[in-house]
A and B are shown apart, each in its own frame.
Chain A
């Protein structure tokens, strides 16, 4: 195979077949993977959850992952947040002419590995090649289907006053890793993206605590944006404790230098979970058993007061609003 992607790789002819066999089938193969027009799988019993997500992250490779891993985690986590076990994914690539075939292979390899780890099968795909300059490197869109195994009913609108708010690990690492990978600020720090598939811990929580009210994936906009969305959707207030929010020291250092709030930096492997307070210890115990969520912490609770606002208890005992989201911190983070 050539070492650069050319327009003919997206033409549907033998070059496309070569790419599918040499890169995609090799890395993503499973019993349903098809080069036919559609994949055919057995239908799961009960309700299904379905989601789709596009990925345009720049740079495509960063400490802790690449766009391929991210594109699997993103859709897997979205499905898991509805209490569904992800089963099947499809993926659609738009590749810039001239993209290195070896890089594409690295991306496909990461997708295969992440899919196997997440227990999900990539069953169909599409490849388009755009002329030089028409896309930046490579864009991926994934779509996925999952099955709701246990009778659960989760939504950002179900938070109740008194509930406990859990974040499943330190916040803002993905956004910070991307920011550093771009090397625009001349800052060096050892920060790895938190990008990870989270279906296993999420489903463990909902199966053992069916009373769980909310599970949300804190991606673009970070944990802060998710908290504000929950405030609005559930018509409640939220109180968090500044000292209880886990932040990696390197992330704190970088955000301190640049004047950014870690709660508003993207995560790609962190959930916000809201459970009635009597289940908070049990939830932490369940999450602690999984590597990706071992750093889970209770960061605050849902209140009846100051509806629609996130209030933060500061390190010196004062109370302040978490400024509402809205500022564009960093484009193209996922």
Chain B
């Protein structure tokens, strides 16, 4: 089974082809283009030339892309969303979209309806659904919306009403895609609703992504099955991605983390992805990226769906080194992709982190005019650069023990192989295209994040149910049921509540079923 993976980043579009044994057959880097697809086409073309493979041999093509992030940030190509909140008589004091940026709301041209229903924390209904209100919803949405977002109070405890309303509307308007909040976000109605609305708004964008990718592949004669990268570092089938486009947001850093796991065989490590302008630091836990537990803003909207725990610092190969007072300061600004023109070692005028690493003898390239560096306190500046990365690594730890650190990305070579806080530092071969490798690896995940009540079932039964549901989700997304493993299994008791309410998070993953 030969796999092709492409990762579209802010600066570069990287690609690899992996053999059945995950051996790298070809790898390339191209500049990301404004329209994204011409950059993808260029990458595909280079990959096919380099590998000299027969296009028909490629079975699987995966794409990690920033399309959905861009659509939200640039407010472009978003759908008209019908928003249903199942909450009355609660919830009316804070209506949907209340603190959204106005330009984004204008793009959604939303229709908003609050209807009776929702649940208490213990799963008892606040109110029953009302048939007449559902008819009103259909009436109000017909011809006015492209997609629909449904959110009910405490749907992480009980999702029955969300599903019932979705079924009802689907019967009346089968062509309209529907997103339900229990499949997307966590506890916190507004944040979960926001994520669900964004998901619904991305339906056309994700369709264009898969159509564009399909077309680009066909141009090269590739007839592979398409998968898209999602932000837990796994893949989803094209059909699945069409329902959950929001999961493609922030898939870039997670692709690097997964690629690092593959290149080093380290299940637990801190992954430092050094680019031209920034360094992204993530954590490998059980071979998968650790998720954040905090609310995350996407395009100015507060959400709580699962996102990778990534810490970014303004340090990369192009980072400028400034004179400051009597000393020197590292960044945070950068020459970015203009490194080859503007850095001193390449005949430019600007002193960058790359120049310092060259002068230090850490890396060997360019044509450094060593004489011009001789008055600089190279050792001190290099130590400051290293310190920026060490500080950032420490921030991502959960305890004070030394950790394994994996350096990847185009700037991986800049940093030494001994770092404070690191038990060992690994800089694997192919570190520069770890992201594309991560995109090409074929694992599929399933997650469950919901509240269970200990008064209804035993702890063991709850955990078994949650696991079974996560496995079911992974299989639905395309995983091989016989090879699924548990990646994460955690429970958090909720404070100030009687009895015991547990928020359970489960993630399972397994290789693609062919």
Q: Are A and B physically bound partners?
A: no
Chain B residues close to A by CB (< 8 Å):
none
B-contacting residues of A (Cβ < 8 Å)? none
